[in-house]
Amino acid sequence: MRAQRVAALILPIFAASCATTEKVAKPAPAGEWYESSRDLKISLPEFAFTEGNYTAEIVRHYSDENELRLLRIAESVYPNRDRVQAARDNARLKDNQEPSKGEGLWWFSAFDGVRIPYTITSAAVRYYSDLVQTFRDQKFEITGGKPVSRCTMRYASVINHHKYFVVEGRSFPECYAVTMELRWTQDNGPGRVMGFVKRRLVLVDLKGKVLGVFLDGPAEVTLN
């Protein structure tokens, strides 16, 4: 039942994105990404807390331990730091948060202290799931003391094997496609409701070598 739910969440959305060139960025060329050993060690427990004003859900679909290993590799891939920094420099919502020592840069902007993603990684998912708990505990230091009356975080990912996978006119034989979707909304009061939906596709071969990374870039933020 969970596998069907994940597929229903991600696959139609990603297929729709692939249908138009304006929504699917060209893959980052080899050398424009790297794998983070730090992220490979991050545990992402699957859970759903859907009651109350602060909700979070993490759903990952894989069929065996090998697919979990490949999924974790895909979730550990970071874009070149210079690409993210360029997006930070041009961001409308400026961010003054610097990564801690050894931390990868997965965000490019911030709203009331809450990071806005450039990509999806294990660290990014953990950041938002931990933040929901922080707000549930009525701790709002990250927002400068501004109360967050409600927030919602949902992460879903699925890994599938393909004899051939075609995207952007390129064919990738014998690979695994890892599709990810991260959703976030927060309500900081009238006129300060922020939300985004971020998606990512990572292709890996049977041994776990990264073949292509798609859809990285500044998340489109909605403000109400």
pLDDT at residue 212 in the model? 94
pLDDT at residue 26 in the model? 53
- How many residues are present in the chain? 224
| φ, ψ dihedrals at 81, nearest 5° | -60, -35
pLDDT at residue 188 in the model? 86
Rounded CA separation 3/28 (Å): 29
pLDDT at residue 191 in the model? 75
11: which 2 tokens? 């696959």
Rounded CA separation 185/128 (Å): 10
Q: Token match 């979070």: residue? A: 56
pLDDT at residue 101 in the model? 79
The pTM of the whole model exceeds 0.75: yes
Number of domains in the chain: 1
**Full residue range of the structural domain in which residue 121 is found:** 2-223
Which residue stretches of the chain have pLDDT < 70? Answer: 1-31
Rounded CA separation 103/118 (Å): 15
7-49 pLDDT per residue, tens:
444 555 454 344 333 344 455 555 689 999 999 999 898 889 8
165-180 pLDDT per residue, tens:
999 888 999 999 999 9
